[in-house]
Amino acid sequence: MKTVHLIQHTHWDREWYFTENDSKAVLYYFMEDLLQRLEDDPTLGPFVLDGQTVVIEDYLSVAPHQENRLRKLIAQGRITIGPWYTQSDFLVVGAESITRNLLLGHADCQRFGDAMPIGYVPDSFGQSAQLPMFLQQFAIDHAVIWRGWSEHNVPHSEFSWQSADGSKVTTAVLPWGYGCAKWLPDDPQHAQKTLEPILAKQTRFSLTDQVLLPNGNDQSPFEYRVPAMLDQLNQQQDQYHFVRSSFSQFFQALENSNVALPEYQGELISPKYMRIHRGIFSTRVDIKQLNARLEQTLSQHLEPLLALNWRLGLPYPQYAVDSIWREAMKSHAHDSIGGCNSDRVNAMVKNRLESGLEMAHQLIDLNMKMLAEGISARQDGKKIIIFNARPQASTGLVELTIFTPEQDFRVIDGEGNECRWQIVEEGRQDMSIIVQELSNSTETTWYRKCKLLLEVRDIPACGYQTLYLQEGVSAGFNSETELAVKLENEWLRLETDERGVLTLTDKRNQQIYHNILQLVDGGDAGDNYNYSPPFDDWLVSNEGFLVSVSGTQGSLQSSLTLNWKMAVPQDLAARNERRADAQLDVSMTITLAHSNAWLDVNISVNNTVRDHRLQVLLPTNVQQHIHFADQPFGLIERHNQPPEMALWQDEQWTEAPVALYPMQSQVMMFDTQRGLCAVTEGLREYQINENSQDTLAVTLLRSVGWLGQANMPYRPGRASGMVLPSPDSQIQGMHHFKLSVLPMNNGADKSFWRDVERARGHLHAWLATGWSRFRTNPHGRVFPPHYSVLSWDSELHFSVLKKAQHSDALVVRGWNPTAQPLPYGTVKANGKITPVTLAETALQTHHEAVPTCAPATFAITF
């Protein structure tokens, strides 16, 4: 007899085709009913509150008077909560976001009771290979998942899932979803007929006689009559024994069965039984870019700066920072960050991210102002603070914007040595917008606005250095730029012909990359969930549409700017008729710094057409069957073409497993002789086309006009979501994209990884002008002209420096981006240094080296 574990739950989307306001209104009545039913019948429960504590936060925001009732039921184990703050999509959001999600989710659970010790991920659009690692770092040994699994990954729905670093969790799949047993009849006879096909499917891949039966659905009322009905069924048949259960009880029964579980390592992105919607990686790219910018601003700038200032005696606004993270995570659910929502919801998601950036930037500005205020000047001029978030001393280039009435100026360090700079952009600025005291003036005060590239050296690790801007003084070097027709330095050469076709030469090994950075525009007949090529697509490249090429060579870098006016179809109808009745204006500026072995690429697109997708191509001419992309805290190897493409139609998969993949910010293809790597800012999708498997195609944008549509080539059958128009998802208007292109002359060696880390950039410059929109009283503290919180001699990539969540300690984190173990290196700080987990608890087992795809975290107490 099979034991069927009844799991009663709700799945709570905060927003989708409805808004979070709609959701809160429904949640009020749902929770009122749930609490009352559980109180009236003490035999009911446990009830799973979707594994995310934001549901509690939302409910108490509209019913704060019910907190004690809720607390009592949680304490009794009748309602199980956590471990997450929100149910995120793990293939799109960043590693620090996933970490904070568990950290803040556990903090909420500690306020209300114990966290459910299950990595419950019921609806992520695919599963990250890193999920076991994240869970183990928070002492969670079990996971329950849905989308992304099939028997082609592992033959059974229960298995031991291992991350590349060796972390393992016992995993159970809900092969037919969290709603497979929703809305069961109250009558045992009717229920038995309903359950027969459900249980036949549920047990199809089960390894043991222990079976999960999830009873609940999206925002559905508590089916409180189901347990009693199943008790009656127990008396009427002997094929199944139904028990009122929990995920923890299920895993205990699974363990007691003493069955050896199959093992699996890797991601789960198979759409055989349920769609994973591969198009969400590029849907609403404006939202993806905002989210990436906010994640980077928080973890790579704001938190390290606050940590530094805290060590200098300034306050650390922990709750303000947590608030920004929480608002960001409310935008991280699979629908929210996927952009597969109504236009109204996408606008709310975007607003949350923009609001988070506003607050983060204001905190940065205020803290830089307070830092500069405490530094005693060693030279004349305005102080420039160069802040280095990384735990290694840094030398390189940093951007700085200055406003000055003078034609001449120079920048010097504390010893009077001059720093080189280059003006990369210049204009005029109405200073009444900048200086509050001028806002009521009857006359406009105009200054030069100069965006500088500044060369800096030996900026202290996790610290700062003070430079000085002296106006009205000539620079001691030639700051003029000259015209250029190609880009060249010690390592690379980039040339263009009269058509704008670019050729890159790696001078280190004389490898040549022809037609690099080509732009290709194609049709998109899909929706917010999935990219879908038209049945007969018409691809248009930028070749033949060049309008102008200009180049400059300066003291620090050289650049080429190419402008195209691409004749493209206005929409799908025009594309079907091969009618180029619209124009796509595209500008690309490629920069080669004299000190860097990579290209920085800025692309601007005025998107005035619809139903299309624009990609930039990186032809590698590498004859390999695999490539690599980054994932949260690591690297993943993928096939250029998934082998399942040969069988998906015969097996009637829900969606084609096309080579349309997610990344955090990096994708690369290489062999021992050559290769290319792209490091992007907020671009989360790339593709490898079946007909050009040596080419990386990075998606810049895609424009669609529907939330859901039916019968697409890559996704046959029903529409996903709702068949609703979403004209805002055509994302009309100006868009700006950034990526760096790194040629690989010796594979993924140490030099390459150092360049990847440098290309991401961790230097920040701030000019102390004395102007401010907001005034604060002087803090009265005195700071040194240069300072370092700590240093870490390590090859690991930097993730964050922050104050510990629950103690007066600092936390510094790096991660291994490579495919091999790396040494930890040495952390040096004026305090006690302790290895800790992502949960910021003492690490019980310490490897001799940092495994691949693993973070390394240290806490420093003073």
**How buried is 646 (Cβ within 10 angstroms: 0-12 exposed, 13-18 middle, 19+ buried)?**
exposed
pLDDT at residue 782, as a whole number: 97
Q: What's the residue count for the chain?
A: 862
pLDDT at residue 435, as a whole number: 78
Q: At what angle do helices 343-374 and 303-311 cross, to 10 degrees?
A: 30
Half-sphere exposure in the Cβ direction for 399 (13 Å, CA):
7
Taking phi first (over 0 means left), then psi (-120 to 50 degrees means alpha), and beta for anything else, what does residue 280 get? alpha
In this structure, is residue 441 part of a structural domain?
A: no
Last residue of a domain, one of 208, 242, 274: 274
- Do 795 and 673 have their domain in common? no
pLDDT at residue 439, as a whole number: 66
CATH at residue 832: 2.60.40.2220
Contact (CB, 8 A) for 542 and 566 = yes
- Do 793 and 754 have their domain in common? no
Distance CA 348, CA 354 (A): 10
DSSP string for residues in 453-485: EEEEEEEPTTEEEEEEEEETS--SS----EE-S
Neighbouring-strand partners of residue 857: 813, 836
pLDDT at residue 593, as a whole number: 97
- Do 539 and 595 have their domain in common? yes
Report the alpha-carbon angle 683-639-814, nearest 5: 55
- Do 91 and 182 have their domain in common? yes
Residue 44 CB: number of other CB atoms within 10 A? 20
CATH at residue 598: 2.70.98.30
Q: Chunk the chain into consecutive blocks of 10 residues (it has 862) and report each block's average pLDDT, rounded to whole numbers.
A: 97 96 98 98 97 98 98 97 96 97 97 96 97 98 97 97 98 96 95 95 95 96 97 95 98 97 98 95 98 98 98 98 98 94 97 98 97 96 98 97 94 96 93 74 84 97 98 88 90 96 97 98 97 94 97 96 98 96 98 98 98 98 97 98 95 96 98 97 97 97 97 94 96 98 97 97 93 85 97 98 96 97 96 97 89 98 95
**Which H or E run includes 326?**
helix 318-329
- Do 123 and 256 have their domain in common? yes
In this structure, is residue 430 part of a structural domain?
A: no
Query: Residue 559: which of 510, 600, 597 has the closest Cα?
Result: 600
In this structure, is residue 756 part of a structural domain?
A: yes
In this structure, is residue 798 part of a structural domain?
A: yes
Whether the pTM exceeds 0.85: the reply is yes
Q: Which domain holds residue 825?
A: 789-862
Residue reference for tokens 């001028």: 438
- Do 739 and 793 have their domain in common? no
- Through-space distance between the first and last CA atoms of the chain, rounded to whole angstroms: 59
- Do 587 and 714 have their domain in common? yes
Contact (CB, 8 A) for 675 and 620 = yes
Taking phi first (over 0 means left), then psi (-120 to 50 degrees means alpha), and beta for anything else, what does residue 621 get? left
Residue reference for tokens 């091999």: 820
The edge-to-edge listing of strands for the beta sheet with 695-703 is: 540-541, 518-523, 612-619, 695-703, 685-687, 660-662
DSSP string for residues in 286-318: HHHHHHHHHHHHIIIIIHHHHHHHHHTT----H
Half-sphere exposure in the Cβ direction for 693 (13 Å, CA):
13
Neighbouring-strand partners of residue 467: 384
Contact (CB, 8 A) for 117 and 94 = no
> What SS3 state is found at 686?
strand
In this structure, is residue 826 part of a structural domain?
A: yes
In this structure, is residue 772 part of a structural domain?
A: no
In this structure, is residue 339 part of a structural domain?
A: no
Phi, psi (deg, nearest 5) at residue 318 = -55, -45
Distance CA 61, CA 728 (A): 30
- Do 106 and 210 have their domain in common? yes
In this structure, is residue 363 part of a structural domain?
A: no
Q: What is the dihedral of CA 255, 260, 266, 269, to 10 degrees?
A: -70
pLDDT at residue 433, as a whole number: 78
Query: Residue 13: which of 333, 258, 304, 459 has the closest Cα?
Result: 333
- Do 720 and 814 have their domain in common? no
- Do 690 and 810 have their domain in common? no
pLDDT at residue 503, as a whole number: 98
Report the alpha-carbon angle 234-239-243, nearest 5: 45
Last residue of a domain, one of 274, 302, 326: 274
Neighbouring-strand partners of residue 742: 677
- Do 751 and 811 have their domain in common? no
pLDDT at residue 774, as a whole number: 82
pLDDT at residue 481, as a whole number: 82
CATH at residue 34: 3.20.110.10
> What SS3 state is found at 528?
coil
Query: Residue 213: which of 252, 256, 171, 184 has the closest Cα?
Result: 184
pLDDT at residue 832, as a whole number: 97
Tokens of 185: 């009849």
Distance CA 191, CA 129 (A): 38
Beta pairing, strands 168-173 & 142-145: parallel
| Positions marked catalytic | 123
Last residue of a domain, one of 244, 274, 304: 274
- Total of domains in the chain: 3
Query: Residue 295: which of 141, 95, 440, 53 has the closest Cα?
Result: 95
- Do 545 and 665 have their domain in common? yes
Distance CA 707, CA 720 (A): 8
Query: Residue 323: which of 344, 302, 307, 308 has the closest Cα?
Result: 302
